[in-house]
Amino acid sequence: MMASLARFQERVSQALYASEPDAVPEFAALASQPGFAVYRNTVMKGCIDALQANYPSVARLVGEEWFRAAATAYACVNHPKDARMLYYGENFPDFLARFEPAAGLPYLPDVARLDRFWTEAHAARDEPPLAPVQLSHLAPEALAETVLYPHAAARWKWFSDLPIYTIWRRNRELSDCGSEIEWRGEGALLVRPYDAVAWIGLDAAGCAFLDACMAGLPLGDAAAAALGVDRDADLARLLSTLLDAGAFGRIMRIQDQQQKEAS
């Protein structure tokens, strides 16, 4: 019974998204009815509206007409997998990277990735951020053997070729700023340590530092990773910036971790 219901629902879904009424033969008569067309249009509009809400920076960059045309092409082949439409469009950035009309906008897929980061940070589980005072009592040797785990809502990425963060931020904040954009690589960190998602620019060393922390490496190794990217990186300032942003959620010393694993 459940298998039959699941197949029925799957075929109805296929008929809804099909471009031709007879694409699903057993529903051809139903799909040709005007009422079914209204239902199909309503479903499609819901997907397009959700994409526009989930990717506001992209929509502002390209304009509503262009965006909704691209969203229609996406929705025709990417159906919602979750009733919570906040999560819809998880692979929209990859779609834009392959979307021929966007070929002249090389920054667009990565701007979409930052929009997606915002959604992921917004929907992540709550976690109190690590306070700087929790590190202040550690001796230098103990600090080097301490692992700082990124906050549950933290998302970051280094974009080596284009000023993705500046483009995204200006469109997300609805601010043109007036100044020219310097076309160079940038990184970004988005995190929600408290009630609202916040964002800061982050250099390549900072992104490498967080990558190492995410891998469970102690601060000594994370510092080495940052210096491997930029030998002039100011590690004290970088750590302070990340702590102030609420980028970390948990702290553990390597010794404590090893004891936990042994038990």
Stretch 29-48: mean pLDDT:
74
Q: In the chain, what is the straight-line distance between the N-terminal and C-terminal CA atoms, in Å?
A: 47
CATH architecture of 107-263: Alpha-Beta Complex (3.90)
Q: What local confidence, expressed as pLDDT, does residue 79 receive? A: 87
pLDDT digits (tens, 9 = 90+) for 106-157: 999 999 999 999 999 999 999 999 999 888 888 888 888 999 999 999 999 9
Q: Which residues contact 17 (CB under 8 A, 6 or more apart)?
A: 40, 43, 44, 75, 76, 79
Helices (H) and strands (E) in the chain, counts: 14, 5
| pLDDT exceeds 90 at position 30 | no
Average pLDDT, the chain: 88
Cβ-contact 136, 83 below 8 angstroms: no
Query: Domain ranges in the chain?
Result: 107-263
Q: What local confidence, expressed as pLDDT, does residue 50 receive? A: 97
pLDDT digits (tens, 9 = 90+) for 52-95: 999 999 999 999 999 999 999 999 889 888 889 999 999 999 99
| pLDDT exceeds 80 at position 216 | yes
Distance CA 46, CA 13 (A): 14
Distance CA 221, CA 147 (A): 10
Q: What local confidence, expressed as pLDDT, does residue 141 receive? A: 85
Distance CA 187, CA 117 (A): 13
Q: How far is CA 107 from the centre of its chain?
A: 15
Q: What local confidence, expressed as pLDDT, does residue 40 receive? A: 72
Note the pTM of the prediction, 2 decimals: 0.86
User: For the chain, what is the radius of gyration of the CA atoms?
Assistant: 23
Q: Which residues contact 85 (CB under 8 A, 6 or more apart)?
A: 46, 47, 50, 53, 54
Distance CA 157, CA 207 (A): 6
User: Binning pLDDT at 50, 70 and 90, where does residue 175 land?
Assistant: confident
User: Binning pLDDT at 50, 70 and 90, where does residue 235 land?
Assistant: very high
| pLDDT exceeds 90 at position 218 | yes
Q: What local confidence, expressed as pLDDT, does residue 140 receive? A: 83
Q: What local confidence, expressed as pLDDT, does residue 189 receive? A: 98
| pLDDT exceeds 90 at position 17 | no
* Run of H or E including 158: strand 155-159
What are the CA-CA distances from residue 176 to residues 118, 166, 170, 258 (Å)?
20, 10, 6, 50
User: Binning pLDDT at 50, 70 and 90, where does residue 166 land?
Assistant: very high
Distance CA 115, CA 56 (A): 7
Q: What local confidence, expressed as pLDDT, does residue 29 receive? A: 63
Q: What local confidence, expressed as pLDDT, does residue 178 receive? A: 64
Q: Between residues 33 and 200, which one has the greater pLDDT?
A: 200
Residue type, 37: A
Adjacent-strand bridge partners of 148:
251
- What stretches of 55-163 show up as alpha helix (H) in DSSP? 56-62, 64-77, 92-98, 108-123, 133-136, 140-144
Distance CA 210, CA 84 (A): 30
